[in-house]
Structure 1
Amino acid sequence: MEAEKKKKLQSKGWVVGDVDEFLDLDQADLEIIDMKLALADIIVQKRKAQKMTQAKLAEALGSSQSRIAKVEHGDPSVSLELMMKALIGLGSSRQEIGRAIG
């Protein structure tokens, strides 16, 4: 946001901040979110490269299609464990996973 616009809003009583402040996220939270989104992107790419549906991946993992959809969208309710299980099930190596989360 432009400094002038921010100053104008503040002068009228508005509180100006960013998403992390609003959601009270610390640096660790932001890093975890970035990692989960990176992993989700890799899961989608690998699944599509193998011409696999969400339902087929879910079946292979003993999960549900709706859960895989949540995995692929980085839903906060999805555990990192399930994301890792999906990646391993799609043939990812530890090195690939490590590169994905940087």
Structure 2
Amino acid sequence: MNATKRKKLEAAGFVVGGTREFLGLTDEEMAYIEIKRALSENLQTRRKQQKLTQVQAAKLLHTSQSRVAKMESADKSVSIDLLVRANLALGASPRDLKLAF
């Protein structure tokens, strides 16, 4: 957001902030979200680097295409455990995952 727009909104009484402030998240909750997002992005990047479609990745992961889509979008129904296992199944090393976040 540009500075002019921000000043206009603040002058009108709006509070401009980030996700943390809006949702009132703790540092731990923010870290959890960032880790989950990093794992999701890493999974999508790894799949694309291997030139796999979501359908092909789903077959390798023994799941459905819609589940892969949820994993890649960090859907709330997807656990960090599942994201870690999926990344490993697509060839990520534990070291790769450490670098993801």
In structure 2, the CA distance between the partners of 1:53 and 1:63, relative to structure 1 (3 Å rule), is: same
Rounded Cα–Cα distance in structure 2 between residues aligned with 1:23 and 1:5: 19
The residue number in structure 1 matching 2:50 is 50
- SS of match in other structure, 1:92: coil
Rounded Cα–Cα distance in structure 2 between residues aligned with 1:77 and 1:17: 29
Gap regions ≥5 residues in structure 2? 1-5
Matched residue pairs, number?
Answer: 95
TM-score scaled by length of structure 2: 0.80
The residue number in structure 1 matching 2:67 is 67
Rounded Cα–Cα distance in structure 2 between residues aligned with 1:68 and 1:32: 20
Runs of 4+ in 1 over 4 A off after TM superposition: none
- Max radius of gyration: which structure? 1
Aligned residue runs from structure 1 range 10-21, under 5 A: 10=13, 16=15, 18=17, 19-21=19-21
Aligned residue runs from structure 1 range 1-102, under 5 A: 1-2=6-7, 5-6=9-10, 8-10=11-13, 16=15, 18=17, 19-101=19-101
Identity percentage over the alignment? 36
Output the aligned Cα RMSD. Answer: 1.8
Q: 1:5, CA displacement in angstroms?
A: 4.7
TM-score scaled by length of structure 1: 0.79
